[in-house]
Amino acid sequence: MATLSPMRAGVNLLNGLDLLSRGKVRDTYPLPSTNLLSVATNGISIFDFVLNALVPLKGVILNAMNHFWCQHLEGFGIKTHLLAAGADIDAHLPDALRGNVDLQSRAIVIRRMQMAPVEFIVRAVLTGSAVKSYRETGKVCGHIIPPGLQDGDAFPYLLDTPTTKAEEGHDENMDFMQVRQRYPQQTLQALQVFQICSAYAESRGIKIADTKFEFGADGTIGDEIMTPDSSRFWEYQTWLEGRKPTADRKAPPPYDKQLVRAWGITKGINKLNPENLGDVLRVHSLDLPEGLIRQTTQTYRYIFWRLTGTTIEVYLRENMDVQATFRPVPRIAIICGSESDLPVVRKVLDQFFPNVAHVSIHVMSCHRNPEELRDYARSDIRGTDAVICCGSKWLELPGDLDAQLHAAGNDIPVIGVALGAQGSRSLLAAQLAIEELPGTPVVINESSGRCYTGENGLYDAIRRVAFGELPPPKPRVNKPVQMNVFQNF
């Protein structure tokens, strides 16, 4: 078992139940009924090290996503480990633990199973650790793969690439043919489950690159299913656009703990040995930046919303009978490019009930008020959940403000809304100014790949901030300034 960090080890145990095991993220307790209670914590690990940090809501989201996929798979006749979730776990608990909203949010009752000693990993694309093996040998875990693939390219078929389940240190690749022969039912089911989940995810605009499963000896799927801790989720449209026949294709950024992995690489954690106590203590001495923790929570919230179509709060209430609230009423700043946009904004706001969001309205032209725009981006606007910039003609306001906010260290999401008469050049110009920004830093409607447009678009943008989720900040690529490239005087 991996050595737990002080913060992970300090997560409170449940009174009245005996602890069976503590993993990197989950605590497991035996129940009187011979079943188990699995509790997801906010612990986080990278490169097989448990970091000395807790990510708010991570355990709740992992637990709810596990529940979501179990429900989805059972509709296809797939037997899962799930017995009870949400408020229903109370029937399996001692009296002292019943009615605990936090526990209902992060725990499920599962079958006690004899688990196969294999991580059943399924890969749809070439990425991650498979890239190095492919480039060196032309194979991925024994599978012979045609030449010419680059990072993020799809394999010609789904690959089963099983590994060991190491108690400490790194998992080791296993011979896939031997695992197929020894565990034919589990291997077949892993491929089937991946296809079921992948088809659903693509309907939500998400590409599943790879994942890992665990199965019982009888073929029942257990542990965690298609969570950001066990899977790579990509924006489907971004993945497609990245497959253009260029010399240097790259995989898109995943919706998981990749930001934390990238931080870990800068600290050299990826080169350390999780079986070396000195390396473990060194990792445990590192503080994960608060900003990175917030971004990780947002990433987990976002991918949950994209896959389930609802926020974690609504899902708990409507699907698990848990009355949990984790975020306050959002604060939205609406910036109009011109006073002529104000009637549209006021008309849309009149459609919302009071207290759906705290809204402030400003009028600011990026062309005529460049200093005011810069000062606003540098001001203390902590607590603002999103800025919605709306206007017509060549609407540079969203992109300019996003750049100014980022330069000032205020990574607040900016949503662009194009206004103007349907079919007019003014509307088209505003749409292009938002959608054609390099790197797409301004938030658009990811499902359609288009920016929010018109009164309905402004309504949808406000509703999204109030009742949905916004994506985590995208990685910024700094390009060098090239002065005097040519001078003929």
Q: What is the pLDDT of residues 215-231, one digit of tens each?
A: 999 999 999 999 999 99
Contact 39, 23 (CB under 8 A): no
Evaluate if pTM is beyond 0.85. yes
What is the C-alpha separation between 127 and 108, in angstroms, rounded? 32
Q: Phi then psi for 406, rounded to 5 degrees?
A: -65, -45
User: DSSP states of 36-61 as a string?
Assistant: EEEEE-SEEEETTEEEEEE-TTHHHH
Class of domain 328-467: alpha beta
Q: What is the pLDDT of residue 380?
A: 83
Place of tokens 């990780």: 296
Is 326 exposed, middle or buried, given 0-12, 13-18 or 19+ CB atoms closer than 10 A? middle
Buried b (16+ CB within 10 A) or exposed e, 28-57: bbebeeebbbbbbbbbbbbbbbbbbbbbeb
Residue 273: count other Cβ atoms within 10 Å of its Cβ. Answer: 14
What is the C-alpha separation between 45 and 323, in angstroms, rounded? 29
CA 256 to chain centre: 4
Contact 40, 26 (CB under 8 A): yes
The DSSP 8-state label assigned to residue 413 in this structure reads -
CA 307 to chain centre: 10
Contact 471, 252 (CB under 8 A): no
Q: Token pair for residue 423? A: 């079919």
CATH code assigned to 120-253: 3.30.470.20
Domain parsing of the chain, residue ranges: 6-112+286-307, 120-253, 328-467
Residue 484: count other Cβ atoms within 10 Å of its Cβ. Answer: 5
**Secondary structure (3-state) at 315:** helix
What is the C-alpha separation between 203 and 460, in angstroms, rounded? 20
Place of tokens 């969001």: 357
* Residue of 454, 463, 406 whose CA lies nearest to 430: 454
Q: Phi then psi for 251, rounded to 5 degrees?
A: -75, 145
Place of tokens 């253009």: 244
Rg over alpha carbons for the chain, rounded to the nearest Å, is 24
Is 219 exposed, middle or buried, given 0-12, 13-18 or 19+ CB atoms closer than 10 A? middle
What is the C-alpha separation between 45 and 36, in angstroms, rounded? 23
- Residue count of the chain: 489
Q: Which CATH superfamily is domain 6-112+286-307 in?
A: Phosphorylase Kinase; domain 1 (3.30.200.20)
What is the C-alpha separation between 214 and 359, in angstroms, rounded? 47
Contact 366, 394 (CB under 8 A): no
Query: What angle, rounded to 10 degrees, do the helices at 342-349 and 454-467 form?
Result: 50
Q: What is the pLDDT of residue 372?
A: 93
CA 330 to chain centre: 20
* Intervals of the chain under pLDDT 70: 1, 166-170
Angle at 136 between CA 132 and CA 140, to 5 degrees: 65
Place of tokens 């491929």: 191
Q: What percentage of the chain reaches a pLDDT higher than 70?
A: 99
Q: What is the pLDDT of residue 479?
A: 80
3-state helix, strand and coil shares in percent for the chain, rounded to the nearest 5 = 35, 20, 45
Q: What digits encode the pLDDT tens for the residues 443-489?
A: 999 888 899 999 999 999 999 999 999 998 877 777 888 888 888 88
